[in-house]
Copies of this chain bind each other. A is one copy, B any other.
């Protein structure tokens, strides 16, 4: 069945289709007394917003968020916070042609197989547009964990990775790729532009680091911090892989190489390395929480791909709508939002049991 709620204590429910009148999120369980206004949320939506550069879809929407409940005189009241974003640029006519054809790589066929019908306009509920609601919810979550600093950036596009030696956090917001390596950003500009012109698309890898997470968040077994992060990230549109710390790289190390030695220090141990990505046994260790996420190339491409119609006839599908040549780029603020949501939830979860 549908399941549009995420979280255990700080829980949010999203709703809305790409071409419906609006979309939104209801954030429940937020502590009272936090200062919150639209302008605390809007910058995160602006970062995710389409139409910012030629490297993202040209759909133009202000994505202006409204807070409809849960805030009184500028403060959260502890009651559900309803966030709404109206859809203003819905060119439904772009999609009429594919109403009857399944776009390969999209959810079209699976939705019809499951529900027997679907809102085909712009992907309906399966559109990446739904992630705007998560970004809005994530902005609220950040207020719950002010002790944490979350940084997300693209570390690879089309197989071309950044050079860690060139990492410059200040660079991330300076280029349209959320790229911390100025040199890579220049290369990606050409790479993504070529893909865009060719009607092709590229995959990407996004890394997210949360600093300031104290030791003790998370839980053994089925609410492990890493398991919840994995669910949060794999649930983002177009994501096909998630790693914590060294991830698949750890599978190629020996136990000695993978060790994170600890030394006594004030305020918690000092670690020599962070292969574990800040999580052991599902619980944070006090080191930075590190997560890496693989985005597949956008499935919407100009090259015709064999497919079928909803009547089971053969057809070729090429997507002429406005699309991102590399969805991983706009996925970056979504990754950060999901990190914030998972951490905020676990902060409250930990407080519930461990005071």
Contacts and interface: CB of A to CB of B under 8 A. Distances in A.
A293 to B, nearest CB: 9
A98 to B, nearest CB: 14
Nearest to A159: B252
Contacts of A233: 230
Contacts of A109: 215, 262, 269, 280, 285
Interface stretch (A51-59, A175-183, A195-203): A195-203
Given A109-B280, A240-B277, A269 B308 contact: yes
Contacts of A72: 17, 117-119, 124
A310 B139 CA distance: 32
B243 A294 contact: yes
Contact of A205 (B20, B235, B248): B248
Interface in A51-109: 66, 68-70, 72, 75, 77-82, 84, 102, 104-107, 109
Interface in A12-34: 13-17, 20-24, 26, 28-33
A78 B4 contact: no
Given A3-B219, A240-B277, A312-B264, A118 B230 contact: no
B9 A353 contact: yes
A11 interface: yes
B261 A242 contact: no
A328 interface: yes
A283 to B, nearest CB: 4
Contact of A78 (B234, B282, B303, B354): B354
A171 interface: no
Contact of A352 (B113, B125, B245, B349): B349
Contacts of A216: 110, 113-114
Contacts of A244: 234, 240-241
A69 B15 contact: yes
A185 interface: no
Contact of A231 (B16, B118, B228, B286): B228
Contacts of A75: 117
A283 B80 contact: no
Contacts of A28: 2-5, 13
Given A69-B15, A260-B104, A285-B109, A1 B255 contact: no
A174 interface: no
The 8 closest A-B pairs by CB, nearest first: A107-B281, A1-B353, A3-B223, A203-B251, A201-B255, A113-B215, A352-B352, A110-B283
5 contacts: A6-B222, A22-B68, A75-B117, A203-B251, A269-B312
Given A23-B68, A72-B118, A109-B269, 5 more contacts: A4-B28, A32-B115, A104-B260, A231-B234, A256-B305
